[in-house]
Amino acid sequence: MTAETTSRDNAALRALFSLPPIQPSTSTALTVPEAPAPLVVTGDRELDAVLWLRDCITTAHPVLIEKALETFKKVKTPADELEKRYTAYLARLSGNNFGAVLKAFGFADLESLAKSSVEKSAQQHDAVARFGSIENLLKDIPAETRCKAALRGLKRVKRSDWPFPEYDAAQADSRFEQSPDLAVHTLADCIFARSFGNTLYWLRHACSDNAGDHWDQFQEHQDYCFRSMARIPPNSKAEALAVLDYLDAEEAHDHTESPAILRNLVAGGWK
């Protein structure tokens, strides 16, 4: 039975594109950091104080975050004025380098920093609880190994209108379709595999500044899943709406394949 005729999810694909189960005993591998020492960085006492509060917050320790936010409330200078002064400092330091100056954006928004720091810490603990260590998280996982094997020998070609070499989509799709644990059978499979890829990406980036992008072969499978949403008919109204919600959430309505995906959702024959 081919992917075009089946209406059942591919259990083999879902097993492959799943995170390892949580092992609670390993989550203690991440230790709670000590409060950072205040430093003289800019020479501006208020800016250096805010930089120190930011360092305290990025530890993601609840007590340090609470104390930092309470301390920041005592700063009388408006947040936008602090950001302007820090922007001016970075501009002087970098010779008006645009990339360096961008680092001042949100400098005094400590509430947002606290939220993102807590989320990042939660992802780090989740990663260690699942993979045992950050090192294991950054190693190839079975899904990546299988994607590499499926596309072995298939060359990427460079288009005249695009600077980076790409796989031929039809050939890559054919390779994945011939692999029982890589072929998507339903629209739900497509969303499942792509959501896994997104989760894996952000887990790695929460744990390493050098995580980089997906392997080309794994990214091609992500693209294959997206392309497949234009050809696999929806099983039901609920599945069609799930794809529509996915496109909205990913802000993917401007992708090349999106018009064909929308037509498929409308004309797919669901009941």
Report percent pLDDT > 70 for the chain.
94
What pLDDT does 39 receive?
93
Is pLDDT of 33 > 90? Answer: no
Q: How confident is the model at residue 158 (pLDDT cuts 50, 70, 90)?
A: confident
* Greater model confidence, 31 or 120: 120
Closest CA to 226 of 238, 201, 243, 212: 243
Q: Which residue has the tokens 């992500």?
A: 222
Domain boundaries of the chain, sorted by first residue: 11-23+134-267, 29-120
* Greater model confidence, 96 or 227: 227
Q: Is the dihedral of CA 9, 15, 20, 21 positive or negative?
A: positive
Residues 6 or more apart in contact with residue 77 via CB below 8 angstroms: 46
What pLDDT does 5 receive?
47
What pLDDT does 163 receive?
84
* Greater model confidence, 1 or 246: 246
| Backbone φ and ψ of 62, nearest 5° | -55, -40
Q: b/e string for 63-96 if b means 16 or more Cβ within 10 A?
A: ebbeebbeebeeeeeeeeebbebbbebbeeeeee
Q: Is the dihedral of CA 177, 181, 186, 191 positive or negative?
A: negative
Q: How confident is the model at residue 30 (pLDDT cuts 50, 70, 90)?
A: low
Q: Which residue has the tokens 């929308």?
A: 262
What pLDDT does 2 receive?
43
Report percent pLDDT > 90 for the chain.
81
Q: How far apart, in whole angstroms, are the C-alpha atoms of residue 195 and residue 185?
A: 16
Is pLDDT of 25 > 70? Answer: no
What pLDDT does 210 receive?
87
Q: How far apart, in whole angstroms, are the C-alpha atoms of residue 117 and residue 151?
A: 38
Q: What is the pLDDT of residues 179-226, one digit of tens each?
A: 999 999 999 999 999 999 999 999 999 999 889 999 999 999 999 999
Closest CA to 216 of 140, 135, 147: 147
Is pLDDT of 3 > 70? Answer: no
Q: What is the mean pLDDT of residues 16-22?
A: 95
**Does residue 191 sit in helix, strand or coil?**
helix
pLDDT averaged over the chain?
92
Q: What is the pLDDT of residues 136-153, one digit of tens each?
A: 999 999 999 999 999 999
Residues 6 or more apart in contact with residue 172 via CB below 8 angstroms: 151, 154, 220, 223, 224
Q: What is the pLDDT of residues 55-82, one digit of tens each?
A: 999 998 989 999 999 999 999 999 999 9
What pLDDT does 7 receive?
79
Is pLDDT of 26 > 60? Answer: no
Q: Which residue has the tokens 């309505």?
A: 253
